[in-house]
Amino acid sequence: MNNIPLIPVLLLGAVLFCLGILAVITKRHAIVVLMGIELIFNAANLNLVAFNRHQPDLMQGQVFSVFVMVIAAAESAVALAIILKVYSYFKTVNLDQIRHETDV
């Protein structure tokens, strides 16, 4: 357990990050996009945890990932509130259909 190499973990984090980005870019549903963002957060957390494993002195990585989780939770709450608001305003959460067409 102790000798899990660093690189595969970082690669996994990068893949997760890319998948998150992919979800954010391609998905139309706002909540799925939010899920993509969560993936990105987790990719970052994975990196932090992996780096902590190699330099465990002060437990900086673990502490940071805890902070990230807290912020992600807060962010999700805010984002969900926004999505709710958007839904009540536009009657949809499909990002393609949400356009604030001031110029029409």
Q: Does 21 bind other proteins (CB under 8 A)?
A: yes
In the numeric block, the tokens 């502490």 are attached to 63
Note the helical H segments in 55-102: 60-90
| Helix (H/G/I), strand (E/B), else coil: 64 | helix
Distance between CA atoms of 98 and 94, rounded to whole angstroms?
7
Q: Does 96 bind other proteins (CB under 8 A)?
A: yes
Tokens matching residue 28: 């139309």
Q: Does 83 bind other proteins (CB under 8 A)?
A: no
Min dist CB 26 to other proteins, Å, is: 8
Q: Does 24 bind other proteins (CB under 8 A)?
A: yes
Q: Does 100 bind other proteins (CB under 8 A)?
A: yes
Where does this chain bind other proteins (CB under 8 A)? Answer: 21, 24-26, 33, 95-96, 98-101
